[in-house]
Amino acid sequence: MDNNIKEQVRILWDKCFSEEDKRFVDLYFKMRYNDEDNIFIEREGKVVSALQLISYPFSYYGKTIGCAYISGACTDPDYRSQGLMNELILKSLKKAKNNGACFAALIPASESLFNYYSGTNFVTTFDYSKMHINISRQTATNTQQSVMVSRFEPESEEEFYEVYEYFNNKMRSRNCCIQHDEYDFKVITEDLDIFDNNLLVAKYGDDICGLAFCYLRNDAIYIKDVFAESSAIFSDLVTAAVNMFENESVNIIIPPVTGQKTHRLGMARIIDAETMLRIYATTHPKLKMELSLVDSIMTENNGTYYINNGVLEKKDSIGSNVVDIEQLTQALFGYHTEMLPDKLKSFNNQAAFMSLMLD
């Protein structure tokens, strides 16, 4: 793929996204755009619809599986309502399967797009909970006097990787969570820097004990992810954000909490049902189940699956205990399984989560 395609995709982005997004687009094409990830459609000698299909690791019951994340999906306004994006997504699913991904994921740019993406069997699987805190700057003081909170400004690679290692360990402790490698962490921190936002690092002596990814949006602080070794350190990070941004309104995004109000975040679509069911079976040896899966798009998923004593067996025939790919996706991600058909209620509820996706 030559530079001409990249240039055309950039022109398409400039046409589809607002002028205020220009710094983000500059960063994306500098650090995130990759020819190998680019899927596009040409009409009349130019790119009119494109997306990036980015590979991410995903922690799943002690294993790491592949996630194909759809990013930057857009179509030239002059070519919309022609089915181009649907065509792109179908191409993306096939490419993701060839790349070894178990599922695809995306974050709709608006509420209306949740319904649009359901047309290719994407279904909501990722939620978040939100905490809102108001802290007066006059009373905002550290609760832990021995804990120092500072802005992340690494002076060496060693310092950078020290913070990344802490971040990575905390992320890896989350089940059903998209993970970020070292390079992706660099992109995340660069995104913070260009918009004058902050990654705050809490230290107790020489040891890192907390991180907060802080953004200023619409006269309010948004902490898009946070890790802390104690509630006191959590409070210190929030206090530091209030003082640094000189703003008293803080919204904190956290993984979904049972019993609290949740908000829709992202969608998933299973690509390789057999692999995901096999992992689930081996990690839930007491589960006994028979289900027949029907997938109208990725027909290789079709068949009857038997789970017993941690072992999965698949047969090509379709029985009477039928579920569709959307239902199975929500079951395997543990998304409100109490709302699923009785045959899928034995799947465990989970707090599937993604964060810091440059959405």
> Model confidence over 326-358: pLDDT tens digits?
999 999 999 999 999 999 999 999 999 999 998
What mean pLDDT is reported for the chain? Answer: 94
**What percentage of residues in the chain have a pLDDT greater than 70?**
96
CB of 190 within 8 A of CB of 153? Answer: no
Question: What is the arithmetic mean of pLDDT over 5-25?
Answer: 89
Contacts (Cβ under 8 Å, ≥6 apart) of 53: 37, 38, 39, 68, 69, 70, 71, 92, 95, 96, 104
CA 340 to CA 331: how far, in whole Å?
8
Domain ranges, ordered by start, for the chain? 3-106, 136-247
Q: Which pLDDT score, from 0 to 100, does residue 138 have?
A: 45
CB-hemisphere CA count at 13 Å for 328? 30
State percent of the chain over pLDDT 90.
Answer: 89
Q: Report the C-alpha gap between 246 and 196 in whole angstroms.
A: 13
Q: Which pLDDT tens digit goes with each residue over 134-165? A: 887 545 555 556 899 999 999 999 999 999 99
Share in percent of the chain as helix, strand, coil (round to 5) = 35, 35, 30
Please write the tens of the pLDDT for every residue from 166-205: 999 999 999 999 999 999 999 999 999 998 999 999 999 9
Assess whether the region 3-106 and the region 136-247 belong to the same CATH fold: yes
Kindly tell me the sign of the dihedral angle through the C-alpha atoms of 66, 91, 273, 269: positive
**Average pLDDT for residues 11-31, to the nearest whole number?**
89
**Dihedral sign, Cα of residue 4, residue 71, residue 220, residue 30:** negative
What is the dihedral angle through the alpha carbons of 297, 301, 302, 303, rounded to the nearest 10 degrees?
Answer: 180
69 forms beta bridges with 54, 105
**Residue 17's pLDDT is what?**
86
Rounded to whole angstroms, how far apart are CA atoms 193 and 187? 10
Query: Which range has the worst mean pLDDT, 8-22, 158-172, 245-259, 307-321?
Result: 8-22
Query: Residue 1: pLDDT band by 50, 70, 90 thresholds?
Result: very low
Cα 98–chain centre separation = 21
pLDDT digits (tens, 9 = 90+) for 26-60: 999 999 999 999 999 999 999 999 999 999 999 99
- Report the CATH fold assignment for 3-106: Aminopeptidase (3.40.630)
pLDDT digits (tens, 9 = 90+) for 62-85: 999 999 999 999 999 999 999 999
Sign of CA dihedral 229, 234, 236, 241: positive
CATH-assigned architecture of domain 136-247: 3-Layer(aba) Sandwich (3.40)
Whether 292 contacts 303, CB under 8 Å: yes
